[in-house]
Structure 1
């Protein structure tokens, strides 16, 4: 992502992704960096409930193991088993995403008079494709631009696509890239959609979802980005 260059064209600049989610990290005890913390965090009960653990607000070795597994899966650091704000922030976002169900455009923010359009709700870190009021695909979790690299809002169009794109800035693969605003694009990544702090502006997706978007969208289709990613 970031500053991405089209192979036969000039460099494409980029101004500055419960995901990627930039929330102040509650500091865990010092020993937690290398071992499992025995201290209960400020979100202990909420985290226990989310993970299906006994909700007693007390840290146990089993609690710590479950929290560390969650942190490791989603790239939350330090993965010390501490129920801090970064861990709960991801879980809270996941809860909000789940609550959306199959009606992601309930608020009516994404235009329904454009035919096929890809919608991106930055606040909930969700995207979907609709035709008018008909939901075509999604909603799916996405990972958008971090602080100072925000995914830009507004109505846009897919200008070009490259299934095997490679970023010239970071020398990383960006499979199934569909560019809609300069160097900002839908594309797949190999990390969790809730991996903080987020992208350099692109809308990251799982490989499965990026492939589906590739099959459903084409150059010239509309993209609407709205809201504000938590922490930006």
Structure 2
């Protein structure tokens, strides 16, 4: 009799699992909800309902994403050394850095880098990353020691050296009246004359054989402080145009290589500070006399 009752009781106990709960039918016909065992309970499936058994479980978020690499700047504020001098000298070739190279990456250098990045359509960070460095290399030439270390006595003597055998400037009669840029091809000089008196004199060089500098009497047509040649794409700081595309302007190449080179017809000046001072004195309409 006890065995029969046990079997009957066993037949009446029916467990129905629905969703996340188990409903037990008791011998008296009642329903008793119980919590389903966790998936980690022995005998239960280890795969969640929404997950296929042939797929790996999802990895953690930090493991699924590869670490992002940020571009490390080549140079930034606070940097020092020869590479900073080269950067400053290259920016000076484009008239974006208007001081002598110091070898220290400060606020002025950062502003010059930002100006270059703006011209080239690069992110304006003020720091020198690889993209900016590559773009700067493509539009400038390697600077010389005279450009990166302009304070040395050796450099100063080299810059001041005049070509051998050049005579003192001879004044042309056309230079003796009014405001005149009196330019002598014989002595390679430009003299700023005001009513027959010489105010300042500086060394100049002229065009090559196939691009000669024109001779005669001209007038300053217009001035451009930070001009860039539309033909040769080279900087022409403190340009004062007098005949078509020919102008008096500063030449970094002349300052570096002296009379070994030549212009494309312009009158090159190698003393930037002297020309900067002259630029502010000369006005459109002032006379230009170029003679042998």
TM-score, normalised with respect to structure 2: 0.42
CA distance in 2, matches of 1:109, 1:198: 27
Distance 1:146 1:203, change over 3 A: same
Shift in Å, 1:124: 1.5
Kindly indicate whether residue 209 of structure 2 is the aligned counterpart of residue 176 of structure 1. Answer: no
CA distance in 2, matches of 1:120, 1:190: 20
Shift in Å, 1:93: 3.1
Mapping of 1:128-139 within 5 angstroms? 128-138=191-201
Aligned residues: 131
CA distance in 2, matches of 1:198, 1:124: 15
The one of 181, 200, 225 aligned to 2:290: 225
The equivalent of 1:17 in structure 2 is none
Please tell me whether Structure 1 or Structure 2 has the larger radius of gyration of its CA atoms: 2
Shift in Å, 1:111: 2.7
CA distance in 2, matches of 1:174, 1:205: 10
3-state SS of paired residue (1:215)? helix
Shift in Å, 1:112: 1.1
The equivalent of 2:265 in structure 1 is 201
CA distance in 2, matches of 1:165, 1:180: 14
The one of 209, 215, 224 aligned to 1:147: 209
Please say if residues 151 and 203 of structure 1, whose CA atoms lie closer than 8 Å, have aligned partners that are also in contact.
yes
- Could you say which structure has the greater relative contact order, defined with CA pairs below 8 angstroms and 6 or more residues apart? 1
3-state SS of paired residue (2:198)? strand
Please say if residues 254 and 261 of structure 2, whose CA atoms lie closer than 8 Å, have aligned partners that are also in contact.
no
Residues 45-75 of structure 1 show CA distances to partners (whole Å, capped at 9, x for unaligned) of: xxxxxxxxxxxxxxxxxxxxxxxxxxx97xx
Please say if residues 175 and 193 of structure 2, whose CA atoms lie closer than 8 Å, have aligned partners that are also in contact.
no
Residues 140-167 of structure 1 show CA distances to partners (whole Å, capped at 9, x for unaligned) of: 1101111111110000000011111111
Distance 1:200 1:212, change over 3 A: same
Residues 122-180 of structure 1 show CA distances to partners (whole Å, capped at 9, x for unaligned) of: 12211111112211111x11011111111100000000111111111111111111000
Please say if residues 164 and 174 of structure 1, whose CA atoms lie closer than 8 Å, have aligned partners that are also in contact.
yes
Residues 3-27 of structure 1 show CA distances to partners (whole Å, capped at 9, x for unaligned) of: xxxxxxxxxxxxxxxxxxxxxxxxx
CA distance in 2, matches of 1:176, 1:151: 18
Please say if residues 186 and 210 of structure 1, whose CA atoms lie closer than 8 Å, have aligned partners that are also in contact.
no
Distance 1:212 1:95, change over 3 A: farther
CA distance in 2, matches of 1:224, 1:144: 14
TM-score, normalised with respect to structure 1: 0.52
Of Structure 1 and Structure 2, the greater helix share is in 2
Mapping of 1:9-20 within 5 angstroms? none
Once superposed, which parts of structure 1, at least 4 consecutive aligned residues long, lie more than 6 Å away? none
CA RMSD of aligned residues (A): 2.2
Q: What are the ranges of 5 or more consecutive residues in structure 2 without an aligned counterpart?
A: 1-144, 147-160
Kindly indicate whether residue 187 of structure 2 is the aligned counterpart of residue 117 of structure 1. Answer: no
CA distance in 2, matches of 1:165, 1:150: 21
Please say if residues 145 and 200 of structure 1, whose CA atoms lie closer than 8 Å, have aligned partners that are also in contact.
yes
The one of 164, 170, 178 aligned to 2:226: 164
